[in-house]
Amino acid sequence: MNLWFRLLVLFVTSLFRPRMHARSDVSRLRLRVLPNDIDGNVHMTNGRYWTIFDLGRLDMVLRTGLAKVAMRAKWAPIVGSGAIQFRRELKPFHAFDLETRLIGWSGTRLIVEQRIFTGSDRTLTARGLLLIGFYDRGNRAFVKAETVLQAIGVVDTTSPPLGEAANALLATDAALKSEIDDWTALR
């Protein structure tokens, strides 16, 4: 995270925004493309989308109460895998809306969808899916998604049905892990 000013604003404003319910609510942040977000093509650089997505996930974690729970339990939030599709470019000083929501979970993975919209017609600019886990430093293991959700008061911890893209990301994550394990064994 290298967006220090935006991060500070997020921490302060999250204190005054309503609490989110993990299963049903969507985090919405209104942001603007700043000069340090652009690349040589004079649009927001692809790598900046991932950093902007951090802000949306942090807003969700703060407003669901998960940040307090994670700090007390010494759980570290970790992005395991992600995929993004870029649909439109974002030019300097262009305003955009970042939406972040939990769409499901499997095992120790929470699946988060993040979307960027622009304009009054809400044109989709980018969509990302990320697999998030909470690593328990004391037990040296990832925490089951159901345990994470119960810790913030979610009663029904049955995941909603996952879409094709979410299932494909889970499969890709498993394949990458398998190949890393194979590669490590060869060393």
Q: What is the pLDDT of residues 166-186, one digit of tens each?
A: 999 999 999 998 888 777 666
The pLDDT of residue 4 is 86
Long-range contacts of 170-179 (CB under 8 A, 24+ apart): 170/106, 170/109, 170/111, 170/131, 172/81, 172/83, 173/80, 173/81, 173/109, 173/131, 176/81
The pLDDT of residue 2 is 63
**Residue 114, Cβ neighbours under 10 Å: how many?**
25
- Structural domains in the chain (count): 1
Q: Which of the two residues, 139 and 186, has the higher pLDDT score?
A: 139
The pLDDT of residue 88 is 95
Query: What is the pLDDT confidence band of residue 76, given thresholds at 50, 70 and 90?
Result: very high
Q: What is the pLDDT of residues 82-116, one digit of tens each?
A: 999 999 999 999 999 999 999 999 999 999 999 99
Percent of the chain with pLDDT over 90: 83
- Cα–Cα distance measured from residue 69 to residue 65, given in angstroms and rounded to the nearest whole number: 7
CATH number at residue 59: 3.10.129.10
The pLDDT of residue 37 is 93
Query: What is the pLDDT confidence band of residue 5, given thresholds at 50, 70 and 90?
Result: confident
- Cα–Cα distance measured from residue 19 to residue 1, given in angstroms and rounded to the nearest whole number: 23
The pLDDT of residue 15 is 86
Quick check: 187 pLDDT over 70?
no
The pLDDT of residue 3 is 82
The pLDDT of residue 180 is 81
Q: What is the mean pLDDT of residues 145-163?
A: 95
Q: Which of the two residues, 163 and 10, has the higher pLDDT score?
A: 163
Domain containing residue 89: 4-186
What is residue 95's three-state secondary structure? strand
